[in-house]
Structure 1
Amino acid sequence: MTIRRMDNVGIVVDDLDAAVAFFTELGMELEGRMPIEESWAGNVVGLDDMRSEIAMMRIPDAPGRIELAKYHRPTAITPEPEFAPANTLGLHRVMFAVDDLQSTLARLRPHCAELVGEVTRYEDSYLLCYLRGPSGIILALAEQLN
């Protein structure tokens, strides 16, 4: 048995509209949006009486999707600490390769994006940064220099 592909990365958010706007500004497209509240979904994720809404975002003309989920019932839990540092165990960030890191940051700042550290050059190969967006989502951005 082999893995055929990675289908998507799921991210729980507190404001679905803000998260969709953020990832749209990054360059992703909204593939679809729908409520999820049947018992089968609660059985999959292990939550009783679950009601949520998801938005599937995709990278145009390339593989890669993000499933944004807003939980209406039960209410989403805020992690401790709310803005965990980079060495926190568990799923931490999603990295995107971009053509122009500074331009991408400028477009995302009006959508609540803040640098976690600073934009850093790795040798003559990459500009890299971590940024925090809506709902504390952490993205890494990488611009290849050569």
Structure 2
Amino acid sequence: MAIQRMDNVAIVVNDLDAAVAFFTELGMELEGKGEIEGPFADQTVGLDGVRTDIAMMRTPDGHSKLELTKYHAPVAIGAEPPQPPPNTVGLHRVMFAVDDIHDSIARLRPHGAELLGEVANYENVYLLCYLRGPSGIIVGLAEQTG
């Protein structure tokens, strides 16, 4: 049996409203919010006493989703600075294709976005950059130019 699709990527955040605002500004749509707790959550995650708030965000085309998760119990670990660099083992970053990379950066800066390097030109085909968003999330942006 083969997989049907990739359903979503979950990201643990320390400020759910800030993360929703950030990804909404990027162009994602809030699909819904909810509280998750109970035996099924404990069994699924492998932790006892899970209590979270989640926000499900989707791309405008409806094909990709982010589940933003704020843990109330057990308390999330590693959510404080310093933030790990992009070469840390584990989930590296989430990359989005955008129409205008410079406009996207300008709109995300008021939401705490900081460039990790600078906007790079890859062979006159893409403009690329990494930025750090809420809760230290590394977001990649790519604008096709050629």
Q: TM-score range by the shorter chain?
A: over 0.9
Count of residue pairs brought into register by the alignment: 146
1:57-72 residue pairs with structure 2 within 5 A?
57-72=57-72
Which residue of 1 is the match for residue 84 of structure 2? 84
Deviation at 1:134, TM superposition (A): 0.6
Contact 2:79 2:135 in 1 (8 A): no
Which residue of 2 is the match for residue 53 of structure 1? 53
Contact 2:86 2:138 in 1 (8 A): no
1:2 aligns with 2:2: yes
Structure 1 length as normaliser, TM-score? 0.96
1:78-117 residue pairs with structure 2 within 5 A?
78=78, 82-117=82-117
Deviation at 1:61, TM superposition (A): 2.6
Give me the whole-angstrom Cα distance separating, in 2, the residues matched to 1:112 and 1:80. Answer: 15
What are structure 2's unaligned runs of at least 5 residues? none
CA RMSD of aligned residues (A): 1.3
1:8-27 residue pairs with structure 2 within 5 A?
8-27=8-27
Structure 2 length as normaliser, TM-score? 0.96
What are structure 1's unaligned runs of at least 5 residues? none
| Percent identical | 67
Give me the whole-angstrom Cα distance separating, in 1, the residues matched to 2:76 and 2:85. Answer: 20
Q: Amino acid of the residue matched to residue 61 of structure 1? A: D
Q: Amino acid of the residue matched to residue 128 of structure 1? A: L
Give me the whole-angstrom Cα distance separating, in 2, the residues matched to 1:122 and 1:61. Answer: 25
